[in-house]
Amino acid sequence: MPFGLLKYGFRRHYPARRYLPAVTELKDSYDIVIVGAGGHGLAAAYYLARDHGITDVAVLDKGYVGGGNTGRNTAIVRANYLTPEGVRFYDESCRLFQDLSGELDLNILYSERGHLTLAHTDAALRTMRWRAEVNKHLGVASELVFPAELAKLCPELHLGQDARYPVMGALYHPPGAIARHDAVAWGYGHGAWRRGVEIHQKTEVTGFQRANGRVTGVETTRGTIGAGLVLQATAGSSSVVAAMAGIKLPIRTVPLQACVSVPLKPFLDPIVVSGSLHVYVSQSDRGELVMGGSTDPYGLYANRSTLEFKEGLIAHILELFPFLARVKVMRQWAGMADMTPDFSPVMGLTEIDNYYIDAGWGTWGFKATPVSGKRMAECLATGRQPDILSPFRLDRFQSFEQVGERGAASVGH
Amino acid sequence: MKIMNCPLNGPRNISEFVCGGEVEAMPAPGAADAAWADYVFLENNTAGVVREWWMHAPTSYWFIAERDTRSDEILRTYPASEVFAERQDFAT
Ligand SMILES: Cc1cc2nc3c(=O)[nH]c(=O)nc-3n(C[C@H](O)[C@H](O)[C@H](O)COP(=O)(O)OP(=O)(O)OC[C@H]3O[C@@H](n4cnc5c(N)ncnc54)[C@H](O)[C@@H]3O)c2cc1C
């Protein structure tokens, strides 16, 4: 690589690197059709090609690559969940993330900042201790810290007793990180394409043809194609796409909003979350404060922003960092989060033989992009639910075996 | 500020209301687990016009609203008695 860089530096022209394929015709059929070219769909395609040698694959998206929640999230990666099933799963993803820039030969700007989840009440402190113990048991670095140590980890944080809800302690998770989300989608897309996968943007799936309990064809705005297997990875549109296949999901689509401030000099190293105040904040490499909270109060298929959200968010950010009072918000946006009742995903086999699902990513799915891609690829290639995914199977709600992660995922994403 | 019309209290700020999910027929008390799982956990999650339970929190008043989940438009709100005319008896 350094030699290549030198050669590149001495060239006369600097053509832009092409990440994604030019528009081509759709073939009549594919071994596997993946609906949704977000990080999850593209990562599944990448690992199908890399690990299983399956390259007769088309990834279809109604918009553009990464235009869904993949390009809208606040890019937090962490493994400090509450259930052993969740911790094991997200820990595998963190480990994949740590090597991802090298793997994809693209700098995803993975930046380990440390992740602090503040507790302002005894009850919250108890949950933090619970999470710390579950994490440690599974080899994930997490510990409870108190104000004296917090003052060293994050000197800017207001720790005074004059706050409305003084900080009592925090769950400290050193491997917590942020990354450049677009690069993750482009890197997986590029790697999949280089191995023979087709990526078709502006190609909306409008229905499925079914026969004998199987999906036989995929109807799109560019014609109908045959498919051996189908994987849907459409986040906010999960219920709409699943309904085309006749499947009803435990999912409600709810907007999740976020915003960034004008760029400031670097001052905030860790990612700071407060469940009680419904806020989280980190500082990006460009100096912007990236801020968000919990989902909107009711379901909606729209990406609009609201003033109510910002008022509530900023008021609470100022409780933690009062000196930001005169800083301006620069940009705001929203994504459509596919929320499950237990705050865990829905992954793997469905009641239809050759139809697979990767959904229920709500507000927490960016960090799972590598692991879900890798394990869904395994699931499609073998036709079996991998062990690590079995807690997240779709029919867990029929047997009342939810994987309750609300305590670890409702505000900190 | 978005306004919702409460059948009891008139037009109020949307932040005073809580959404209670789609109006759906409840399974019989002795129905199979699958029917209850469907009722409790599965969602139609319709992209379009839906009929939902809403509550005006300050007065704990439950009513029904029709709303378009694509445009965020509230089409109609009315008392639950328009749909539920009879008392449900849980004793049997
Ligand atoms: C504001 C915000 C902040 C977040 N913060 C975090 C965070 O800090 N950490 C974290 O881990 N997660 C976070 N998330 C969640 C995370 O962004 C998502 O869970 C994740 O990106 C989902 O990826 P995906 O590939 O499944 O979906 P998406 O990236 O949404 O991709 C789905 C794709 O499907 C396409 N599609 C839909 N319907 C059709 C159709 N009929 N035909 C063809 N294509 C279709 C869409 O165009 C879209 O491109 C956040 C989300 C939001 C909105």
Measured between alpha carbons, how far is A304 from B70 in angstroms, rounded to an integer? 11
Alpha carbon of A118 to ligand 1 centroid (Å): 27
Nearest to A88 by CA among A298, A316, A375, A304: A375
pLDDT tens digits, A223-244 = 999 999 999 999 999 999 999 9
Q: Where in chain A is the domain with CATH 3.30.9.10?
A: 112-176+253-339
**Is any ligand 1 atom within 6 A of the Cβ of residue A365?**
yes
Quick one: pLDDT at residue A180? 96
pTM over 0.90: yes
Q: Where in chain A is the domain with CATH 3.50.50.60?
A: 24-73+182-250+342-409
pLDDT tens digits, A249-277 = 999 999 999 999 999 999 999 999 998 99
Do A307 and B70 make contact, defined as CB atoms within 8 angstroms?
no
pLDDT tens digits, B7-41 = 999 999 999 999 999 999 999 889 999 999 999 99
**Is any ligand 1 atom within 6 A of the Cβ of residue A293?**
no
Handedness of CA A214, A220, A224, A225 (dihedral sign): negative
Quick one: pLDDT at residue A1? 61
**Stretch A284-292: mean pLDDT:** 96
Residue type, position A40, single letter:
H
Select the residue of B15, B33, B42 nearest A250 (Cβ to Cβ).
B42
Give B-chain residues touching A301 at CB under 8 angstroms.
47, 69-70
**Stretch A93-117: mean pLDDT:** 97
Measured between alpha carbons, how far is A357 from A70 in angstroms, rounded to an integer? 17
pLDDT tens digits, A174-199 = 999 999 999 999 999 999 999 999 99
Phi, psi torsion values for A206, nearest 5 degrees? -115, -10
Q: According to the CATH classification, is domain A112-176+253-339 in 1.10.10.10?
A: no
Q: Which domains occur in chain B, in start order? A: 3-24+46-81 (3.30.2270.10)
Q: If you classify domain A24-73+182-250+342-409 with CATH, what class do you get?
A: alpha beta
Residue A5's pLDDT band (cuts 50, 70, 90): confident
Using DSSP bridges, classify how beta strands A271-274 and A115-119 pair: parallel, antiparallel or unpaired.
parallel
- Mutate which of A173, A234, A410 for ligand 1? The one with the most ligand atoms within 8 Å of its CB, which is A234
Q: Which residues of B touch A (CB under 8 A)?
A: 1-2, 14-15, 18-19, 21, 33-34, 37-38, 41-45, 47, 69-72
Select the residue of A252, A297, A308 nearest B45 (Cβ to Cβ).
A252
Burial state string for A283-295 with b = 16 or more CB within 10 A and e = fewer than 16 = bbeeebbbbbbbb
